[in-house]
Every structure is written in C-alpha cells, then in structure tokens.
Amino acid sequence: MFQLCNQQLSEERLEQMGVHIFEELSKMKVALVVVDFQNDFISGSLSVQEGTAHEDPLKAIPLLNSLISEKRLDLTVYTLDWHPANHISFLTSASDSDRKFKHKYRARKLEAFDVVTFKQPNTQQVLYPSHCVQNSWGAELHADLEIPDGAKFIKKGTQTSVDSYSALSDNNGSKLLELEELLKSNGISAVLVCGLAFDICVRHTVIDANNLGFLSGVVRDCSAAFSAEHAADTIKQLQSEDIAIVDSLMAKRIIRREAVPTEWICQLMDHLDSRTLEKENDVGRDAEVCDSL
C-alpha cells in the first residue's frame, strides 16, 4: 500500500490515479490573475508598505514581470479596485446622507481602519482612506508593470454601497460573474493569483477561485501583505483549504507544465474518487431496476 494525500492506495489504484491525473494535467490551461497592483496600494493613499507587514510591493514587480512574460500562460488578468468618489469604504464618506450607522459612533471620532456597521445599507465595513477612485492616478496600474498583448481587465468595487475584496464576489457574498465567465470561456482549469494585498484581496480572490472548482494557488513573492498578523492567518487558511502557496520559480514550472503542486494532485484525486462513487451508485441503481423487472 502507498500513502498519498492522506489515502492508502494499492499499486493498482495508484496506477489508475496516475493515468487520470496525467490526462487532466495534459489538458490544463493556466491563468495568472494579478490583483490590484495599483498606484494607491504602492505609493499612494493606502500603501501596503505602511502596514505592519512592511512588505514593499515594488520588490515584487521584477519577479511578477518575469512571470507575466511566460509564453505558455493561457490568460493574464488584471483586477482593479475601481471606486466611486463616495464609496462605502471611504472614511471621508462614512457620514454621507445616503447611509446610516446601526450604532452611534459619537464617543470618538472615526479613524481609518475602524470597523463600522451600517443600517443603511445593511453591511459591515472597514473604513479606509480614499483610494483607487475611478479614473484617478491612484487607480492606475503601476507604470513598471508589464501588460502583455491580450491581457484582460476586471474592475471591482464599482458600486457605491458595497465593497469587493474578491474579484469573484462582493463583500456581501453576491457573485461577480465577469471574471468567472472569462476564466470558463477560455477553458481555464488552474488559477495562479498574486498582487495586493496578499492578506486581503489576493486572499479572498484565490479562496473564491478554489471554491468554484479551479485548481488554485498564490504566488507569494509576487505579492505583498498589509498586516503581518493577517498574512499569517491567510497562510494557515490557504493551507487548510488545499490552496497551493508557491514562489515565482515554482509558478514558472507550473506554467511550463514542468511541475504540479501536491495540493492540486490531491484535488484531482478527490475529483476522481467522487466520479468513481457516482459511477458505482449509477451501476447499483441500474442493477436494482433490472432486478425489479
């Protein structure tokens, strides 16, 4: 018996798994999703480097550009925070007439990074400095970032009353279909996510991608975290959900089909087990029908 992905496998079963996994990987198409590499998150009003993790996004750009230039990438997507000037996440707009607090916050002046609960709209929100306002310099992708031919762009956080950390859903849990449909229409089966901030928008995007059934991973050295504490929590959560955490060298090997994360192999094994169980159930139902005739 062999031990793999917490399963005891016979030699015959291991061989069957190997054939299936090889077939799946031979068809694999990989997308790189670059999250929110925008001026405001690099040197503007909400610089990631000012957080407790003290990670400089500029150091990630050469590694990221090298990854973007990989010829075997099937799709490159850039997401952008793209907020209206009175967005729900902005501290300066927290008391606007179109919103009401559920609780009174008069005991002290609200500050950046406070968490508040609105009665109207019905949502809880972290308050940030104004950032990535539509059509502003702060919302532009950094000038040193490479943009390959055929790249796609997804804007999020465009609605005044709801924030969107993930590029696949808003913070109220409603799905954002544009990126999901783009990935599926291009036949993408594996998604590598990187960008800003690792512990916020990258985290939520890659978890959503994984939940949608994509083989998912984050490229850690092509990302930068805001909070040291939240970055550690992010790593624990990703590991618990079998989301691969790789560096840019490993990401290149994945894109070139030279290597596969263990987490993806385990997911493919789980898919095969599910299909096998479904087939066995179908055979059982067919046998019951035949016996009743």
Q: What is the pLDDT of residues 225-270, one digit of tens each?
A: 999 999 999 999 999 999 999 999 999 999 999 999 989 988 888 7
Report the alpha-carbon distance of residue 107 to residue 98 in Å, rounded.
22
According to CATH, the topology of domain 28-85+130-252 is Rossmann fold (3.40.50)
Query: For position 286, what pLDDT does the model report?
Result: 52
Query: For position 14, what pLDDT does the model report?
Result: 57
* β partners of residue 3: 8
Which residues are CB-contacts of 103 (< 8 A; sequence separation ≥ 6)? 116, 117
Query: For position 6, what pLDDT does the model report?
Result: 56
Query: For position 37, what pLDDT does the model report?
Result: 99
Helix H, strand E, coil C: the string for the chain is CEEECCEEECHHHHHHHHHHHHHHHHCCCEEEEEECCEHHHHCCCCCHHHCCCCCCHHHHHHHHHHHHCCCCCCEEEEEEECECCCCCCEHHHCCCCCCEECCCCCCCCCCCCCEEEEEECCEEEECECCCCECCCHHHCECCCCCCCCCCEEEEECCCCCCCCCCCCECCCCCECHHHHHHHHHCCCCEEEEEEECHHHHHHHHHHHHHHCCCEEEEEHHHCECCCHHHHHHHHHHHHHCCCEEECHHHHHHHHCCCCCCHHHHHHHHHHHHHHHHHHHHHHHHHHHHHHHC
Query: For position 185, what pLDDT does the model report?
Result: 98
Q: How many CB atoms lie within 10 A of CB 239?
A: 12
Query: For position 17, what pLDDT does the model report?
Result: 63
Q: What is the pTM of this model?
A: 0.88
Query: For position 109, what pLDDT does the model report?
Result: 85
Report the alpha-carbon distance of residue 200 to residue 229 in Å, rounded.
12
Directed axis angle between helix 262-292 and helix 11-26, to 10°? 110
Query: For position 178, what pLDDT does the model report?
Result: 97
Query: For position 103, what pLDDT does the model report?
Result: 80
Q: Which residue numbers in the chain have pLDDT < 50?
A: 1-3, 107, 276-284, 289
Query: For position 166, what pLDDT does the model report?
Result: 98
pLDDT digits (tens, 9 = 90+) for 151-190: 999 999 999 999 999 999 999 999 999 999 999 999 999 9
Query: For position 2, what pLDDT does the model report?
Result: 44
Return the active site residues.
36, 156, 201
